[in-house]
């Protein structure tokens, strides 16, 4: 099966002050798949995410070399509109902190920034996003309450929903379930499995079981280097590198 | 002294408690003092004749300080009009835009601004602001406008430091969340960060007002101290604080008591402002 490449990363080297965080990484992320990035902390996987959504722009003293292309277009050259990029590339962070507003306003925030002011359209987007994030049934009667009153698991799904409201082509999830209970985790995983029909998903996680459960491709990073990248099934059954095997078996990390 | 460590601990704690409470004691003494000296005149002349009276001629039995109350509020409001936008902009710049080096340079500069004696501000006002107002805008220069400008600068450190703290205490995740949803930096600031820091910012304005209304030396030097309600921003005026400082040196008898009454009014206004800043705004969130 030939698959389209959505994100092409070539020889990516990232340096913070004097620390080399990524040491020349090359990865292809395929369209409409879930790709898992795993590795112990300090492996550079979160930095890789922050390159793809260009959130790294808000850090000081960063040097980036190499190439990152989305749909063949470089996102690292200066002429790129990073605000526009972040609307195409949604991000869900590890700690699900919604904005201090109502549930409805949290989701309508992004579309409003894009200039969507029509009430009916906004209502539709809010409902649709919440449904896709498997949260609609739990909150449909209280969209006006503060989002901060929701449980942790609900807040994380709300963060997913507000990302979906932007109709992104790519969603990056940076350890989205690290603080969640198993039931909430399962709901997020279900949502992601549905969403990949339309969206390319990158899931960063320390949880190897989760990577094995829901991803199609998986990459293992260690100290800024890509150790192994393959179809998830292959990587978890017959890893070609000893380090990968040790990590998967929980011998370190 | 004993060698028993538990008793030693207890001893240290009580010493600290005594000193901690002494500040409360000073506050209490100030209140007692001002009120004991100031209240008898209210009784004698009548509350209404003092705070709503237009005529201040203390040697002839007129103790009306209404023009001064209005003037105090006018300069305070004027200071806010000038200081609030500048201070808030500076706080936003410091917290959101400036790099580490700029911050390291600006913060001590601001602290220095707070440490400059008010007489120096008054000097600055007399030498520069007053002539500029006189030559380019009109009037004698000693005016509501000049006073507002100087007070606006004087309250900057208060507004900046408290606004800055409240902006910095907005969780980083709010910023990230907003930026990741395709908001620009400025959209993030005015749609997410400023609303989240709103209570602290308002508190900084109110505390700035408290500082402006209580300022004396600089005000006497540039306000002109005329005993009337100013009819334009170029008119001179006299504030409550100015009234006390100008006349206390030679006042005797009821005149002296009248100045204490002025102090009572001032103290009550400042208490209300502080109450609003600390309880009305901060606690609500």
Across the interface, which of B100, B174, B182 has its CB nearest the CB of A114?
A: B182
**pLDDT tens readout for residues B184-206:** 999 999 999 999 999 999 999 99
Q: Is B81 inside a domain boundary?
A: yes
Question: Please, are residues B61 and B257 in contact by the beta-carbon 8 Å criterion?
Answer: no
- Which of B180, B183, B184 has the CB atom closest to A91's CB atom? B180
Asked, for residue B43, whether it belongs to a domain, the answer is no
Give the confidence band of B283 by pLDDT, cuts at 50, 70, 90: low
B174/A99 touch (CB, cutoff 8 Å), yes or no: yes
Using the Cβ of B194 and the Cβ atoms of chain A, whether some distance falls under 8 Å is answered with: no
Per-residue model confidence as pLDDT tens digits over A131-160: 999 999 999 999 999 999 999 889 999 999
B3 in any annotated domain: no
> What CATH number is attached to the domain comprising B201?
1.10.3720.10
CB contact (8 A) between residue A113 and residue B171: no
The model's pLDDT over A24-83, given as tens digits with 9 standing for 90+, comes to 999 999 999 999 999 988 888 989 999 999 988 888 888 999 999 999 888 888 766 788
pLDDT of residue A253 exceeding 80: no
Q: From start to end of chain A, where are the E strands?
A: 5-16, 19-30, 34-38, 62-70, 73-74, 89-92, 170-174, 200-205, 217-222, 225-231
pTM score of the predicted model: 0.82
Quick check: is B75 in a domain?
yes
**Given B100, B174, B179, which is nearest A97 (Cβ)?**
B174
A·B CB contacts under 8 A: 58
**Is B35 contained in some domain?**
no
B246-262 tens-digit pLDDT: 999 998 888 999 999 99
Interface check for B187 against chain A (CB to CB < 8 A): the answer is yes
Is B184 an interface residue toward A (CB < 8 Å)? yes
A contact test, residue of B100, B173, B182 with most A CBs within 10 A:
B182
**What's the pLDDT tens digit per position in A179-219?**
888 988 999 999 999 999 999 999 998 889 999 999 999 99
Say if B168 falls within a structural domain.
yes
Question: What is the number of structural domains in chain B?
Answer: 1
Chain B residues in contact with A91 by the CB 8 A cut-off are 176, 180
CA atoms within 13 A on the CB side of B209: 24
B38 is a domain residue: no
Report percent pLDDT > 90 for chain A: 64
Residue B187 lies in a domain: yes
Q: Measure A99 CA to nearest chain B CA, in Å.
A: 6
Is any Cβ of chain A less than 8 angstroms from the Cβ of B171?
A: yes
Domain range enclosing B157: 56-282
ipTM over 0.90? The verdict is no
CA–CA separation, A210 and A218 (whole Å): 11
Nearest to A113 among B99, B176, B183 (CB): B183
Q: What angle do CA B277, B116, B87 make, to 5 degrees?
A: 45
* Chain B residues with CB-CB distance to A55 below 8 A: 176, 179-180
Q: Which chain A residues are closer than 8 Å to B101 by Cβ? A: none
Chain A residues near residue B171 by CB distance under 8 angstroms: 97
Domains in chain A, ordered, with CATH?
A: 5-248 (3.40.50.300)
């Amino acid at each position: 099966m030939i698959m389209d490449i959505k994100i092409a990363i070539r020889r990516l080297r990232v340096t913070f002050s004097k620390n080399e965080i990524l040491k020349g990484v090359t990865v292809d992320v395929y369209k409409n798949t879930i790709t898992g990035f795993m590795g112990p902390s300090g492996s550079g996987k979160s930095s890789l995410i922050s390159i793809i959504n260009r959130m790294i722009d808000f850090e000081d003293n960063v040097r980036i070399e190499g190439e990152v292309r989305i749909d063949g277009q470089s996102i690292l050259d200066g002429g790129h509109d990073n605000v526009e990029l972040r609307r195409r590339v949604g991000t869900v962070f590890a700690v699900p902190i919604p904005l201090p507003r109502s549930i409805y306003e949290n989701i309508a925030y992004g579309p409003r920034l894009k200039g969507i002011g029509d009430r009916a359209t906004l209502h539709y987007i809010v409902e649709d996003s919440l449904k896709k994030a498997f949260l609609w049934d739990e909150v449909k009667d209280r969209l006006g309450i503060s989002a901060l009153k929701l449980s942790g698991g609900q807040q994380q799904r709300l963060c997913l929903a507000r990302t979906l409201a932007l109709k992104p082509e790519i969603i990056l999830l940076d350890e989205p379930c690290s603080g969640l209970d198993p039931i909430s985790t399962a709901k997020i995983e279900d949502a992601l499995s549905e969403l990949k029909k339309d969206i390319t998903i990158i899931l960063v996680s320390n949880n190897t079981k989760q990577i094995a459960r829901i991803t199609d491709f998986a990459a293992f990073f260690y100290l800024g280097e890509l150790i192994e990248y393959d179809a998830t099934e292959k990587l978890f059954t017959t890893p070609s590198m000893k380090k990968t095997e040790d990590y998967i078996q929980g011998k370190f990390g | 002294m004993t060698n028993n460590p538990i008793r030693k601990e207890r001893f240290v704690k009580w010493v600290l408690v005594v000193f901690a409470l002494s500040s409360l004691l000073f506050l209490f003494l100030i209140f007692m003092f001002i009120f004991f000296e100031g209240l008898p005149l209210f009784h004698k002349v009548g509350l209404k004749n003092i705070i709503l009276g237009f005529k201040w001629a203390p040697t002839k039995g007129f103790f009306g300080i209404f023009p001064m109350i209005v003037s105090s509020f006018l300069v305070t409001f004027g200071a806010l009009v000038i200081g609030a936008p500048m201070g808030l902009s500076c706080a936003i710049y410091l917290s959101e835009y400036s790099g580490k080096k700029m911050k390291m340079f600006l913060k001590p500069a601001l602290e220095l601004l707070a440490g400059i004696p008010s007489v120096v501000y008054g000097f600055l006002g007399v030498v520069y602001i007053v002539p500029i107002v006189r030559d380019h805008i009109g009037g004698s220069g000693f005016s509501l406008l000049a006073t507002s400008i100087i007070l606006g600068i004087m309250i900057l450190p208060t507004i900046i430091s408290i606004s800055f703290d409240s902006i910095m205490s907005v969780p980083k995740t709010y910023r990230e969340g907003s930026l990741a949803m395709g908001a620009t930096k400025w959209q993030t600031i005015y749609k997410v960060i400023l609303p989240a820091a709103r209570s602290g910012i308002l508190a900084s304005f109110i505390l700035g007002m408290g500082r402006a209304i209580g300022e004396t030396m600089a005000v006497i030097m540039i306000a002109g101290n005329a005993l009337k309600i100013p009819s334009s921003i170029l008119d001179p005026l006299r504030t409550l604080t100015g009234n006390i400082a100008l006349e206390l040196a030679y006042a005797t008898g009821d005149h002296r008591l009248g100045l204490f009454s002025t102090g009572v009014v001032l103290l009550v206004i400042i208490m209300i402002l502080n109450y609003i800043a600390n309880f009305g705004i901060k606690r609500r969130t």
